[in-house]
Amino acid sequence: MNGKDFLLEIAGNLVKKALEEGFDEVAVQVHRKKEVMVKVANSEPSVIQNWTVANVGIYLAKEGRIIIVEQSPAKLEDTEKVFGELKETAKLSPPSPFYAPLPEPQSIEPLEGLVDKRILNTMNDPSDLTEMIINTAFEEDIDYVAGMIDFVYSEKALATSKDVNLYEDATYLEAYLRAFAGKGSGQWAYGSRMLKEERLRKMALEAARLASRAKHPEPGEPGVYDVILSPMVAGNLLNLVAGMSSAFSVLMGTSIFMNKKPGDKVASSIFTLIDDPRKPESAGSTAFDSEGVPTYTKPIIKEGVLKTFLHNSKTAAKMGAKSTGNAGWLWPHPWSLRIPPGEYTLDELIREVERGILVTNNWYTRLQNYVEGVFSTITRDALFLIENGEIVRPIYKLRIADRLPTLLQNIAALSREVYDIKWWEVGIPTRTPYILVKNLHTSTHTA
């Protein structure tokens, strides 16, 4: 039996078994993946990891009660053993205010080109590709590199009590490199379902060039700056914003959109944020969600206006909307983000700035208040001071400390070149340009 039939049979049998046990509705999603990751530190591999793992997610409903099970069992076939215990759980727990029936089956248009054989082949021994990335970075004047490259082949099978039976398999690659030179460093990332050596070379060179240019940083003053967010930084902050467009986040009080509704102006009119699951090369692309609803490309924010929250059938029922194909059984979530480009080159963006900074990377974005979007994030790697339209020098780390709604409203320009970013701090694959934001507050330690 091939992988597809095996996983669909497992999922289908679990649905059947759960219905026999007396549950009203069932959805089962079986994930299986093979993964190889090379982690690099001090310009050599620190560990080579690989995984062959399968897990099963089960959604169960009984008279409006909801139970969700996640298992990586020793044998997939053994998963059904949990149903007996869960029957008792269902009897004793009260109905969920989020309950809505699972959706009826819909026609799914499969996505083509989700599997890249080069990734499958390279997974067997990625040592030459790892060596190429390290060596490429050393074409610049740097001291050493760290980073990782990850190759994944994943399969998912979905079966529901509404007679949904769907399967999809895909590859993806995630890579990032951080280069160090003197007191400077630079980092860049790349994520895609396709292995493109040229993109990996570009990633390594970008990291190394940034490190080389930031070799001798000087102290920088905190204050109000026009800030150019690199795709790494834009990816991080817009992951947060997109996550807040989940209707579940809105209902749980963890969203700047809690007091907003579709149609409200929430950002600069030149800014559009799209959930784009139908772009095959994105590492987040998929044809169907966890309820079997077809995915589709949709603006979350279009020309500054909030267009939709992201819904599954439950949040949609609760808020009088339609599913947007973003389930998550409880938490609807974005699949893959895209920010349409502008018309500027990076140099032209810099020329727009009288007093500002170019932030190439950040981490630790944390919020004081999700509803008001009060946040700070600390820069890492190359940070450049811009005066009168020119980069004048690299400077030490600063925090951006402001409000997300202000950041969205103050977007002033976008670069025309876009980058596919995915790494530690950008969990949702994001295709984004450089973004210029006017008048953001920055901060640093007082002593």
Partner 1 sequence: MTYEELVLHAIDVASDLGATYAEARYHKISSSSITSRNGEIIGVSKNLSEGIGVRVLVNGALGFSSTNVLERSHVIEAVERAFKLAKSHAKLMKKPIEFSDVKTGCVRYSALRKKPFDSMSLEDKVSLLSECWETAKNYVKEVKMPVLTTALSESIEEKIVANSDGAFVISHIPRVGFRYSFVLVHPQKGTIQRSFGYRASGGLELLEEWKPVETLANEIKSCETVLCEGVKPPVEEIDVVVGSEIVGLMVHESCGHPSEADRILGREAAQAGKSFIKPDMIGETIGSEWATVIDDPTIPGSNGFYLYDDEGVPARPRFLYKEGKINEFLHNRWTAAVFGVESNAASRSMDFSSEPIIRMANTYLKPGDMNFEELIEDIRKGVYMKSYMEWNIDDERWSQRYVGLEAYLIEDGEITKPLRNPAIELSTKTFYTRIDGADKNLKFYAGVCGKGEPAQGVPVWFGGPNVRLRKIKLRVVS
Instruction: Select from 89, 121, 269, 345 the one that contacts partner 1 (CB under 8 A).
Output: 89
Say whether residue 364 binds partner 1 (CB under 8 A): yes
By beta-carbon proximity to partner 1, the closer residue of 342 and 373 is 373
Q: CB count, 10 Å around CB of 263? A: 10
Q: Which of residues 114-153 bind partner 1 (CB under 8 A)?
A: 125, 127, 130-131, 134, 144-148
Say whether residue 388 binds partner 1 (CB under 8 A): no
Instruction: Select from 6, 9, 86, 391 the one that contacts partner 1 (CB under 8 A).
Output: 86
- Contact flags string 177-196 toward partner 1, x per CB under 8 A: xx-x------x---------
Q: Which of residues 260-319 bind partner 1 (CB under 8 A)?
A: none
Instruction: Select from 68, 121, 221, 345 the one that contacts partner 1 (CB under 8 A).
Output: 68
Instruction: Select from 51, 113, 218, 387 the one that contacts partner 1 (CB under 8 A).
Output: 51
Label residues 100-123 b or e (16+ Cβ within 10 Å = b).
bebbeeeebeebeebbbeebeebb
What angle separates helix 127-137 from helix 197-213, to the nearest 10 degrees? 30
Residue recorded with tokens 């987040």 = 284
- Whole-angstrom distance, CA of residue 233 vs CA of residue 368: 19
The region of 32-40, 210-218, 231-239, 292-300 touching partner 1 under the rule CB under 8 A is: 32-40
- How many residues make contact with partner 1 (CB under 8 A)? 88
Q: Which of 298, 338, 332 is nearest to 315 (CA)?
A: 332
Pair 80, 13: CB distance under 8 Å:
yes
Phi and psi (nearest 5°) for 53?
-135, 140
**In the complex, minimum distance from the CB of residue 191 to partner 1, in angstroms, rounded to a whole number:** 14
**In the complex, minimum distance from the CB of residue 39 to partner 1, in angstroms, rounded to a whole number:** 6
- Whole-angstrom distance, CA of residue 16 vs CA of residue 18: 6
The region of 37-45, 110-118, 162-170, 385-393 touching partner 1 under the rule CB under 8 A is: 37-45
**In the complex, minimum distance from the CB of residue 370 to partner 1, in angstroms, rounded to a whole number:** 6
Pair 400, 359: CB distance under 8 Å:
yes
Angle at 246 between CA 431 and CA 109, to 5 degrees: 65
- Whole-angstrom distance, CA of residue 398 vs CA of residue 381: 11
Q: Which of 59, 35, 42 is nearest to 137 (CA)?
A: 42
The region of 198-206, 252-260, 348-356, 409-417 touching partner 1 under the rule CB under 8 A is: 252-260
Say whether residue 49 binds partner 1 (CB under 8 A): yes
By beta-carbon proximity to partner 1, the closer residue of 106 and 443 is 443
Say whether residue 251 binds partner 1 (CB under 8 A): yes
